[in-house]
Amino acid sequence: MNINYFSKVRILDGGMGQTLLEKGLKAKGSFWSATALIDKKYHQLVIDTHLDFIKSGADVIVTNNFSARRSRTISNNVEEHFDYANEKAGELALKAKELSKKNILIAGSLPAQNDTYLPDKRDINLIKKDFFDQANLLKPFVDFFYLDVLSSIREVEIALNVVDKMNLPVLVGLHIRENGKLSSQETITNVFEKCKSKNWLGLITACTSPEISENVADEIKELKIPFGFKANLWKKQPLPVGEIVTFDKDGFGENPVDILGTRDDITGEKFYDFSKRMIDKGATILGGCCETKPFHIKAIAKLKQA
């Protein structure tokens, strides 16, 4: 693909996991959206949800394997489905693209390989293997990789080491906290200076509130790289899995929205206004994460450039 793809305004999809749950997915434990990958009865739901975002104007859809990382399969006692789940995420995204008959791109999700929103302090070789195995399963189906909500320079370096050997470009997604830094307390500029390579498509704030994304936009703009956001619409700052999920007697997990809440005040119009302000600051990569729905994406798709 063109390494300058994000030099003009492009629209990413919204929050697949929360949209699937809203549509009726009954999630296993903290496997959440990935439950729809290992349970065949939900495969059409995944395709349809991808199509909803494409019809709303998304130029890029992200594979639905955010929760299919190996550590999450282990904690939910479904490790034997790791390969199947990640391959199926690629297959279902590609099927949606084919059905849409639109020239959209598919981004392969490479999430933080242990917990979300916390730096992964495990052995480097273990993290590297986890990234490699997931990326290798997705590669046949995707146009580029998306580092999906990473929280430290160390994780970014490890992931990029894997991705660079696969000859696909990468969009870097960093989770930013209220102080404008990663959870590791490193800055966005630190990440750029330490990790920037010729394979970068751009840099976005990932699963970060609109307010935080807006607050750090000036810092990212100074890096002279395409940038933007995949903004969440939680009421609270997102929490690690262990502080969110509870299980019922059948082993099904609670929807994170029951703990974190959703920002019903952020209508499509308000998401558009926020996105327009970000464009005015120089952003060209616009999208949503948790609790952003197809109607949010439809609203900001009006900002696309020809």
Give mean pLDDT, residues 28-55: 95
Nearest Cα residue to 184 out of 150, 220, 218: 150
Q: How far apart are CA 138 and CA 62, in angstroms?
A: 11
* Residue with token string 């929807």: 255
Pick among 3.20.20.330, 2.40.50.140, 3.30.390.10, 3.30.830.10: CATH of 5-303: 3.20.20.330
pLDDT digits (tens, 9 = 90+) for 279-288: 999 999 999 9
- Which pLDDT value is given to residue 27? 86
Beta carbons of 187 and 211 less than 8 angstroms apart: no
- Which pLDDT value is given to residue 243? 57
142 pLDDT higher than 80 = yes
15 pLDDT higher than 60 = yes
Beta strands 200-208 and 170-174, pairing class: parallel
Q: How far apart are CA 113 and CA 120, in angstroms?
A: 7
Q: How many residues are listed for the chain in this entry? A: 306
pLDDT digits (tens, 9 = 90+) for 286-297: 999 999 999 999
Nearest Cα residue to 113 out of 161, 143, 147: 147
Contacts of 227 by beta carbon, 8 Å cutoff, 6+ apart: 202, 203, 204, 217, 220, 221, 282, 283, 284, 285
- Which pLDDT value is given to residue 147? 98
Nearest Cα residue to 150 out of 127, 178, 130, 120: 120
pLDDT digits (tens, 9 = 90+) for 59-84: 999 999 999 999 999 999 999 999 99
116-130, 180-194, 241-255, 286-300, range with the lowest pLDDT: 241-255
- Which pLDDT value is given to residue 249? 47
Beta carbons of 213 and 278 less than 8 angstroms apart: yes
pLDDT band at 255 (very low <50, low <70, confident <90, very high): confident
Query: pTM (2 decimals)?
Result: 0.95
| Whole-number percent of the chain with pLDDT over 70 | 94
pLDDT band at 261 (very low <50, low <70, confident <90, very high): confident
- Which pLDDT value is given to residue 253? 56
247 pLDDT higher than 80 = no
The C-alpha angle 173, 178, 182, rounded to 5 degrees, equals: 40
306 pLDDT higher than 70 = no
- Which pLDDT value is given to residue 242? 62
103 pLDDT higher than 80 = yes
Average pLDDT in the chain: 94
